[in-house]
Amino acid sequence: MIYFDTLKTANEPTTAGMDVHQAKTLINIFKVLLENQHSKQVTKQILELVASQCKAEIKAITWMMGVFGTSVMVAILQHNFVHKRKNSLQLDQ
């Protein structure tokens, strides 16, 4: 938790001539911003969890790309085999 003295911070702008209501509103906005930033800090455990999830996804994508690549290679070989066979049959006639 971040310590934020709103009264002290609100008194500084009012002594400089800002309206009290405006100063309090401005300080509340800053307070909310600081609290939100503090609550969204990333811990080492969260980073490790995300890293392990990314590694798992990369492994899955690698596996899928391997299957896809193999399928393409089989299709190309099959295509070449059929056309070579067709060409050799035409040459025999």
Asked if residue 1 is part of any domain, the answer here is no
pTM: 0.42
Q: What is the pLDDT of residue 63?
A: 93
Asked if residue 18 is part of any domain, the answer here is yes
Q: How many domains does one find in the chain? A: 1
Asked if residue 73 is part of any domain, the answer here is yes
Asked if residue 57 is part of any domain, the answer here is yes
Q: What is the pLDDT of residue 92?
A: 57
Asked if residue 85 is part of any domain, the answer here is yes
Q: What is the pLDDT of residue 91?
A: 58
Task: State the Cα–Cα distance between residues 32 and 10, nearest whole angstrom.
Answer: 14
Q: What is the pLDDT of residue 57?
A: 93
3-state secondary structure 16-79: CCCCHHHHHHHHHHHHHHHHHHHHCCCCHHHHHHHHHHHHHHHHHHHHHHHHHHHHHHHHHHHH
The answer to whether the CB of 10 falls within 8 A of the CB of 23 is yes
Asked if residue 88 is part of any domain, the answer here is yes
Give the range of the structural domain holding residue 78, as residue numbers without chain letter: 6-92
Q: What is the pLDDT along the chain (93 residues), one digit of tens a residue?
A: 556 676 777 777 777 788 888 888 888 888 888 777 766 677 888 889 999 999 999 999 999 999 999 999 999 988 887 777 666 656 555
